[in-house]
Structure 1
Amino acid sequence: MVQEDSESKDAHPADVGCLSAAESTSEGTKPDVLPNKEAKGASDTEMQVNIVDQHKGVLAEEDYSVFTTNQKRAIMVIGSLTAWLSPMTGSIYYPALNSIAASLHVTSSKVNLTVTTYLIVQGLAPMSKSDLGFPSILSETRGTTHLIGIESLLIAGFSDKAGRRPAYFICFVIYIIANLALALQNSYVALLVLRMLQSAGSSGTVALAQGLVGDLATSSERGKYVAYASVGTLLGPTVSPIIGGVISQYCGWHWIFWFLLILSCAFFVVLALFLPETCRKLVGDGSVPPPWTCVNITDTLRHKERAQDGHVVDEEKKAELRKNFKLIFPNPLGTLLVLADLESALILIATGLAVSCFYAISTGASVAFRDLYGFDDLYVSLMFLPIGVGGVVSVFTTGKLIDWNCEHRRHAKRLNFPVVKNRQTDLSTFPIEAARLQIALPMFLLGVGSIIGYGWMMDHKVSLAGPIVMLFILGYSLIAASQTLNVLIIDIYPGQPATATAANNVTRCLLGAVATAAIGPMSKAMGNGWAYTTLALIFLATCAGPLATMKYGMAWRQARKQKEDMARKQKEDKKADKAAITKG
């Protein structure tokens, strides 16, 4: 939205990027801008054409996606529900930890180890290579074996080259097999190993769901779509522990895995029939039919309707996109390159600490509420409801806060720059970090306070209402902070949303594994109050990273982009030299 004023004269012409298009009424047709003096009286279409012509190089010349708003929402909901499998598989297990320990005749610490290993595999599994602009480095490592888990075959690089749908299929096959085996076993060693296999199958769905967001939504729309993409992952801490507690209490803990098997098979049928291929490297804006490995009913019907409406497939564009289609054996180097970038590392560590605090409290709650309040599995599961409800409230409010902050006068209206709905904007010279982190940092501070409050309340065994309120605030603040940083990391890597999310997954799950392993011994040695205070202070220290990113992030992005452009140019020059030698 634009309004000419005195302040706009000093604004950089590309200071836009995150302006929301939430107020537009049609997808890809109505520009989300106020008409300037010259455009008054012009039609919406003429305004859009004029705006794009005036700002070539900053605004994309074509629509970002041909999918309608309702289609985008439906796709993201399907992806979000499949992403539920990963956090659900972890959290449905928490209320049954005490029952499993008794049934298998092992200690609680050993059963907690199955949670830790689950998180480790969940973090490592989706890592794989994708083209991040370092071709010379990647080519030197081709063929190297990276033993990081079965899912190294799947997400990020695999889905970028082979499509989202084939990656989903492999995830579900592994996950279904693991659930069947877990339901039939009765051994601690089998439980430990199969939980890792189960994690390998489910973890990729989270990265793929975020990949769908990057495929379909521009940075200006990402805030409003984040609720649709995140609702599934938030169902994990909200609904899953209750389901797990009821099943464990009345049917036995084996039936948890039978339930997961039935649910995953049902999800797989829906996904196989109706989820269209969205990978931009294969289908572009959605106007190009997918390769044969990605075809489904939805895509077939959609392209048939487009043909009837007179939309002809651009064969030249189709041929160019088909060059990207490859069934590759990926490696984790692309994800590691994201982690090696300074700006990304600071953001990812902060996100990882936020989620690790979430995991630590969830894991410690099973033992804490049993020992302090004498709860059984069912009542323990109900204690996860406040933290989950706080997270759900956060999901449906944080996205609006992100867009509102970007629309606000200090970020948009004072800038003489247009925003066109469904058109990607060049963010290279826009301080997107500041716009996002102005929402995240207050949530960090609120989360620190709630963690400390929860720990001391549990240490003194206050009325149950106290921990419930703290868990709600904790769920709201930690999810809001991590959700905002998730949007930011995709903004920083707009062309590789799955790879960026995989890097996020690494830090989130590995730090979560450390936190879940440490919180039990820390609580026993220091008491709940000091244990959670220590955790909160470590979390607070990571705020220095986002603060530095707010100040220097744009400069770091520009420097990285220059290196990527140089590396890409060198690669093109080498190809040209080889072609010249061949012709000669």
Structure 2
Amino acid sequence: MKPQSRSTKRQAKSHRRSRASRIGLGPAIGEPYTIFSRRMKIWITFMATVASVVSPMTAHIYFPALDALAEELNVSNSLINFTLTSYMIFQGLSPTIFGDFGDMAGRRPAFTVAFIIYLFANIGLALQRNYAALLVLRCVQSAGSSGTLALSYAVIADITPTAERGKYMGFVSVGVNIGPAIGPVIGGLLSQYLGWPSIFWFCAIFVVVWLVPWVATVPEMCRNVVGNGSIPPQSWNITLLEFLRRRKTGDVPEPGPKRKLRFPNPLGTLAIAFDKQMSQVLLIAAVIYVNFILVAATLSTQFAEIYNFGELEVGLCFLPYGLGCCLTVVLQGYVVDWNYRRIAKKLGVDASHGRRNEIGDFPIESARIQPIYPSLLVGAAAVIGYGWALQAETSVAVPLVLVFLIGMLVPSTFSILNTLIVDLYPGSTATAAAANNLVRCLFGAAATAVVDYMLDAMGRGWCFTFLALLMVACLPWLRFIEKRGPHWRAEKLRRKNSTQNGQGGPGPTEAK
């Protein structure tokens, strides 16, 4: 019996090794996933997190100044509100350009160009006193800042392998979610005490403070340009510190392969958006995002109407929302990585750090989607409770507690889907993130344009109940994607290999 038991164990171990090799997720052979030190990875993540604050903060910092702008420019509130919708439209379109630019030329030049555009737009906004200039410059401001959202997620995919990506994505999601919380508070303070132009001066100073260390210290990390960091980037794409070091020592490394730059092509984003699997993930992420953005977009008007709050008081009401977001997205990132390791262990796959970033037929959909179910269900219940608390005009403490719960549970679900999206497109992470941004922002722009009509027609309670039920309807859809996703990816790989090999059968790399 004993030899048979040992033989069984050997067979099981051999099967697990075969399974790990077949799905392409075994330990790395040769080079590590990235040569950047842990300290440098933390620094890059910190800079990407701060950059991810800019676009959502800029969208929301503007809210407390809407009445003041309408009065000074002598235009109606509806015209001022149109600057919000136009901002969100460009928030969706801009990443389609900067995502492709970042995947082609590198993250450093893409971030730098985007934020220089943003800087000059803010200077123009602070100086303008005309509605047409306000509308155009808000679009330019959005174009400059919004492209960096996709780039921030791509940066994390550049420096972290699949198994540890969740927690790093969580940190970037803190930046995305804290922007809507601190934006109205900062905007309320500046608008009330220094006037509305100070809002745009603040944004200009903020981005300059970020750009200086970015240009000086953060190395290029785009895998299409520098691989795992071991390939030297173009001579114009090195840090200021590296440039000064080379000038001092005369040490010039052998240049990497030349890369041809072209005008960014937004059609790559559309191709990803219409992929069978990706389109479904993007639609679900958009539905969840609509719930998140409509709670934030209507909070100021609803609280001002029900509780007679002023600009600063309304701004402070966003803090529970932001606090809830920040607490959960980081924790959720660790949960996602834990679930990845749990499934890898169950399949006999080595989940150690440093392996190659190949998914193969590993059920990455299950690893990412499973933690979403409880958060989405409880988050939907919180949205329903929030709507009926506003309908009943209860004590302000009740909707504030529910806003905190919504902030904890709803944003964390679409931040997990962000991780899945970049997992599915490891070679075009910024373009994939741009596709996500495009779909959710266009849905968000449409939703913010009609939400006032929904509130008038349905009432606060039924309006938010309807939105929450849309999220609940996504639960069986997510389960369907979880089950069918690996099959869809295998089909796509077979078609790709068939095209490359010029034959109908599967190619030699299908097993990876």
Q: Same fold (TM over 0.5)?
A: yes
- Encode CA deviations 1:280-313: one digit per residue, 9 max, x unaligned: 1211111122102211135558999xx99xxx97
**Structure 2 Cα separation of the partners of residues 196 and 429 of structure 1:** 42
Question: CA, structure 1 residues 369+105, in 2 after alignment: closer, same or farther (shift >3 Å)?
Answer: farther
Question: Is the contact made by 1:11 and 1:415 (CA closer than 8 Å) also made in structure 2?
Answer: no
- Correspondence 1:418-437 to 2 at 5 A: 418-437=350-369
Which of 477, 483, 487 aligns to 2:419? It is 487
Measured after TM superposition, the shift of residue 493 of structure 1 is: 0.9
Equivalent position of 1:326 in the other structure: 260
Equivalent position of 1:513 in the other structure: 445
Which of 383, 386, 395 aligns to 1:454? It is 386
- Which consecutive unaligned segments of at least 5 residues does structure 1 have? 17-51, 128-151, 572-584
Q: Which amino acid aligns with 1:250?
A: Y
Question: CA, structure 1 residues 469+123, in 2 after alignment: closer, same or farther (shift >3 Å)?
Answer: same
Equivalent position of 2:286 in the other structure: 352
Equivalent position of 1:285 in the other structure: 228
**Structure 1 Cα separation of the partners of residues 402 and 278 of structure 2:** 30
- Which consecutive unaligned segments of at least 5 residues does structure 2 have? 1-7, 504-512
Measured after TM superposition, the shift of residue 514 of structure 1 is: 1.3
**Structure 2 Cα separation of the partners of residues 441 and 406 of structure 1:** 16
Equivalent position of 1:528 in the other structure: 460
Which of 413, 431, 434 aligns to 1:499? It is 431
For the pair 1:477 / 2:403, whether they are aligned, the reply is no
**Structure 1 Cα separation of the partners of residues 12 and 39 of structure 2:** 35
RMSD: 2.8
- Correspondence 1:74-93 to 2 at 5 A: 74-93=43-62
**Structure 2 Cα separation of the partners of residues 285 and 272 of structure 1:** 20
Q: Which amino acid aligns with 1:450?
A: A
> Identity of paired residues, percent?
40
Question: Is the contact made by 2:321 and 2:403 (CA closer than 8 Å) also made in structure 1?
Answer: yes
**Structure 1 Cα separation of the partners of residues 455 and 245 of structure 2:** 56
Measured after TM superposition, the shift of residue 339 of structure 1 is: 0.8
For the pair 1:247 / 2:190, whether they are aligned, the reply is yes
Q: Which amino acid aligns with 2:483?
A: K
Question: CA, structure 1 residues 75+302, in 2 after alignment: closer, same or farther (shift >3 Å)?
Answer: farther
Equivalent position of 2:5 in the other structure: none
For the pair 1:412 / 2:344, whether they are aligned, the reply is yes
Equivalent position of 2:212 in the other structure: 269
Measured after TM superposition, the shift of residue 456 of structure 1 is: 0.9
Equivalent position of 1:95 in the other structure: 64
Equivalent position of 1:41 in the other structure: none
Measured after TM superposition, the shift of residue 11 of structure 1 is: 7.2
Equivalent position of 1:201 in the other structure: 144
Equivalent position of 2:508 in the other structure: none
**Structure 2 Cα separation of the partners of residues 12 and 200 of structure 1:** 49
Question: CA, structure 1 residues 236+398, in 2 after alignment: closer, same or farther (shift >3 Å)?
Answer: same
Q: Which amino acid aligns with 2:132?
A: V
**Structure 2 Cα separation of the partners of residues 7 and 231 of structure 1:** 45
**Structure 2 Cα separation of the partners of residues 435 and 8 of structure 1:** 23
Question: CA, structure 1 residues 107+494, in 2 after alignment: closer, same or farther (shift >3 Å)?
Answer: same
Q: Which amino acid aligns with 1:516?
A: T
Which of 176, 179, 185 aligns to 2:122? It is 179
- Correspondence 1:42-441 to 2 at 5 A: 58-61=26-29, 62-127=31-96, 152=97, 155-299=98-242, 319=256, 322-323=257-258, 325-408=259-342, 411-441=343-373
Q: Which amino acid aligns with 1:469?
A: V
**Structure 2 Cα separation of the partners of residues 329 and 341 of structure 1:** 23
**Structure 2 Cα separation of the partners of residues 378 and 56 of structure 1:** 54
Q: Which amino acid aligns with 1:553?
A: G
- Encode CA deviations 1:452-501: one digit per residue, 9 max, x unaligned: 11111111110111111111111111111011111111111112110110
Q: Which amino acid aligns with 2:302?
A: A
Question: Is the contact made by 2:163 and 2:341 (CA closer than 8 Å) also made in structure 1?
Answer: no
Measured after TM superposition, the shift of residue 564 of structure 1 is: 2.6
Measured after TM superposition, the shift of residue 387 of structure 1 is: 0.8
Measured after TM superposition, the shift of residue 415 of structure 1 is: 3.2
Question: CA, structure 1 residues 570+199, in 2 after alignment: closer, same or farther (shift >3 Å)?
Answer: farther
- Encode CA deviations 1:13-32: one digit per residue, 9 max, x unaligned: 5767xxxxxxxxxxxxxxxx
1:221 counterpart SS class: helix
- Encode CA deviations 1:494-548: one digit per residue, 9 max, x unaligned: 1211011001101121111112111112112221111111222223223343221
Question: Is the contact made by 2:26 and 2:350 (CA closer than 8 Å) also made in structure 1?
Answer: no
Question: CA, structure 1 residues 205+125, in 2 after alignment: closer, same or farther (shift >3 Å)?
Answer: same
Measured after TM superposition, the shift of residue 177 of structure 1 is: 1.2
Question: CA, structure 1 residues 394+10, in 2 after alignment: closer, same or farther (shift >3 Å)?
Answer: farther
**Structure 1 Cα separation of the partners of residues 441 and 181 of structure 2:** 19
Q: Which amino acid aligns with 1:275?
A: V
1:84 counterpart SS class: helix
For the pair 1:545 / 2:487, whether they are aligned, the reply is no
Q: Which amino acid aligns with 1:246?
A: L
**Structure 2 Cα separation of the partners of residues 502 and 211 of structure 1:** 10
Measured after TM superposition, the shift of residue 416 of structure 1 is: 2.7
1:125 counterpart SS class: helix
Question: Is the contact made by 2:163 and 2:337 (CA closer than 8 Å) also made in structure 1?
Answer: yes
Equivalent position of 1:131 in the other structure: none
1:331 counterpart SS class: coil
- Encode CA deviations 1:47-74: one digit per residue, 9 max, x unaligned: xxxxx9x998854422110001111110
Question: Is the contact made by 1:218 and 1:423 (CA closer than 8 Å) also made in structure 2?
Answer: yes
Question: Is the contact made by 1:14 and 1:427 (CA closer than 8 Å) also made in structure 2?
Answer: no
Measured after TM superposition, the shift of residue 108 of structure 1 is: 3.0
**Structure 2 Cα separation of the partners of residues 384 and 566 of structure 1:** 53
Equivalent position of 1:443 in the other structure: 375
Question: Is the contact made by 2:162 and 2:423 (CA closer than 8 Å) also made in structure 1?
Answer: yes
Measured after TM superposition, the shift of residue 8 of structure 1 is: 5.9
2:264 counterpart SS class: coil
Which of 497, 500, 504 aligns to 1:565? It is 497
Equivalent position of 2:509 in the other structure: none
**Structure 1 Cα separation of the partners of residues 15 and 449 of structure 2:** 49
2:344 counterpart SS class: coil
Question: Is the contact made by 2:157 and 2:426 (CA closer than 8 Å) also made in structure 1?
Answer: yes
Question: CA, structure 1 residues 425+86, in 2 after alignment: closer, same or farther (shift >3 Å)?
Answer: closer
Question: Is the contact made by 2:365 and 2:482 (CA closer than 8 Å) also made in structure 1?
Answer: yes
**Structure 2 Cα separation of the partners of residues 438 and 502 of structure 1:** 24
Greater shift, 425-434 or 293-302, is seen at 293-302
Question: Is the contact made by 2:62 and 2:184 (CA closer than 8 Å) also made in structure 1?
Answer: yes
